[in-house]
Amino acid sequence: HGVAIRSGHHCAQPLHRFLHVNASARASLYFYNTKDEVDRFIEALKDTVSFFTSF
């Protein structure tokens, strides 16, 4: 999909412990992102959710 994300703790280890998760994924947007890039990210996110909920 051409989308880059970051995974890990994101300087939020207390939150991860509270939520009982080992890590999380983060995508960041900024003013220079285009609508096409945002749409592409949303489609990639939908595909990812579909993949991980299919089994």
Q: Which of 2, 4, 7, 11 is catalytic?
A: 11
- Can 11 be counted among the known catalytic residues? yes
State the Cα–Cα distance between residues 16 and 14, nearest whole angstrom: 5
The β-bridge partners of 24 are 8
State the Cα–Cα distance between residues 40 and 2, nearest whole angstrom: 8
User: What's the token pair of residue 22?
Assistant: 């080992």
Residues serving a catalytic function are 11
